[in-house]
Structure 1
Amino acid sequence: MSVHTMETLTLFNNEPYRRAFSAMVIAVVDNAVVLEHTLFYPTGGGQPGDTGHFTLADGTQIEVIGTVRDPLLPSIIWHQVQQCPPHLCTGALVNASLDWERRYQHMKMHTCLHLLGSIIDAPVTGCSISADKGRLDFDLPEMTLDKDSITRDLNVLIEQGSPVNILSMPAAELPTVLETNPGKTARPPAIHGDLRMVEVSGIDLQPCGGTHVHNTREIGRVYCEKIEKKSKSNRRVILRFE
């Protein structure tokens, strides 16, 4: 199969809580593997790529140390492995498992950052997520942010237990979304001409390709650890789980 005709079917968009799956290998290059479909989320939108392991038919375990999209063909997802054994080849069947606790922390923090964006009225200029913390950068020239207020307001929203829904919207409607949500990204993921939208019911709606929890109460308590001035007009807000 030519690399130009390959495509990895994504399972993580519709099944973010699923932890394991089986799939056929469709390409191996050095220590990188492409599967016919995957639950492993590839690095993007500030969210790290998933880690985990593959198990081959003979019991061999292979550590997956990262997951990325192909820089030229983004429909292809590469699983970066610690070491690729000779018998891991095209056509092989693997049983794959996520490092679930790490992924679930990413899901919780990603949803929490959507809440953070909803309470700060400024354009978002950057995002980063890890298993224990997350941050958003805002285009905000004046220092009007307060750690205690952010902590209080976020935990109030979390405790509301609002549902988190995944919606689809025609890409042509993006200008309307940006008009009503001026702080949101202007470069959303588009799938077959549609935008993948993440809605925190009654709180936030924005284009996003990441994985999220089903209800804000799953996030648990968080606190604003730090607010940094990164430039004349850039403020960085860093959150951590309690």
Structure 2
Amino acid sequence: MSTELLFREDAYLAEAHAVVVGHTPEGGILLDRTIFYPTSGGQPGDSGWVEWENGARLSIATAVKVEGGQVALVPAEPMAMPAVGTIVHQRLDWPRRHRHMRVHTALHLLSVVIPLPVTGGQIGTDRGRLDFDMPEPPADIAALNDRLNRLIEQDLPVTELWITDEELEANPGLVKTMSVRPPMGHGRVRLVRIGTEGRQVDLQPCGGTHVGRTGEIGMVEITKIEKKGRQNRRVVLSLVDERSA
């Protein structure tokens, strides 16, 4: 039985009940439904806690994907785990998750202001990076920062829509990443749109969590551009408020 992904329906859901359906050989907890995003697509797995009867509480370090479409919650330290059938209450480390959402959406906008093929990426709690197929560095970083923050300030809606595998195959330009293909084979693919259908800024396959509007990102800044190969350059973007905090 695959895990019901509550974060896919509502990225702002920070607490939820679930039932323990199993344990992994490595010591992870399997639930019937979860709010914890599992490590994938350059986005770290969520951390937080699960609580159950008699005040028992277990700290969760991260979440990972396991076979059968399930998500395993990985305890931060070895402790007695809730038995199969136990009803638990999940709680996210919400400030950490929310920063991931802000950084992730900002990176989508970075791929708009630098319209080059993406060769890799990583999301952190206060910064993220995209690697681009970029023979030469941009001449005017200040102009890129200005375009990024202007898009953010427009407070554009961030929404999702689903298309079939066949529709994605017919529209290869939707895929910006060269190194990782979006998950296919399940019949449909999730797209994340920034803007509206009539005034669209970005549309690309993505399974991660995002803020609901770009204004929620806050001010960002490109803080570093590194050469990572003959035609590969790494662009690092930071949340200004987190960097200065």
TM-score normalised per structure 2? 0.90
Distance 1:236 1:144, change over 3 A: same
1:234 partnered with 2:200 = no
> Are the counterparts in 2 of residues 164 and 214 from structure 1 also a CA contact under 8 Å?
yes
Shift of 1:173: 1.3
Distance 1:84 1:26, change over 3 A: farther
Give the gaps of 5 or more residues in structure 2. 241-245
Match of 1:63 in 2: 59
> Are the counterparts in 2 of residues 184 and 206 from structure 1 also a CA contact under 8 Å?
no
SS in 2 for 1:203: strand
Shift of 1:7: 1.3
AA aligned opposite 1:104: H
Shift of 1:89: 1.4
Q: Once the two structures are aligned, what percentage of the paired residues are identical?
A: 41
CA distance in 2, matches of 1:85, 1:127: 34
Match of 1:3 in 2: none
SS in 2 for 1:224: strand
> Are the counterparts in 2 of residues 167 and 198 from structure 1 also a CA contact under 8 Å?
yes
Give the CA RMSD over aligned residues: 1.6
Shift of 1:190: 3.8
What is the number of equivalent residue pairs in this alignment? 234
Shift of 1:183: 3.1
CA distance in 2, matches of 1:240, 1:61: 34
Aligned residue among 214, 217, 223 for 1:216: 214
Give the gaps of 5 or more residues in structure 1. 1-5
Runs of 4+ with >2 A deviation:
82-87, 142-147, 175-179, 181-186, 189-192
Aligned residue among 204, 207, 226 for 2:202: 204
Match of 2:48 in 1: 52
Shift of 1:75: 0.5
Shift of 1:119: 1.3
Shift of 1:184: 4.2
AA aligned opposite 1:170: T
> Are the counterparts in 2 of residues 189 and 196 from structure 1 also a CA contact under 8 Å?
no
Could you report, residue by residue, the CA deviation over 1:144-196 in whole angstroms, capped at 9, with x for unpaired residues?
Answer: 353212211100100011111110011111134323x4634561134731110
Aligned residue among 142, 156, 172 for 1:148: 142
Aligned residue among 8, 21, 27 for 1:26: 21
> Are the counterparts in 1 of residues 3 and 31 from structure 2 also a CA contact under 8 Å?
yes
> Are the counterparts in 2 of residues 49 and 67 from structure 1 also a CA contact under 8 Å?
yes
TM-score normalised per structure 1? 0.92
AA aligned opposite 1:57: E
SS in 1 for 2:91: strand
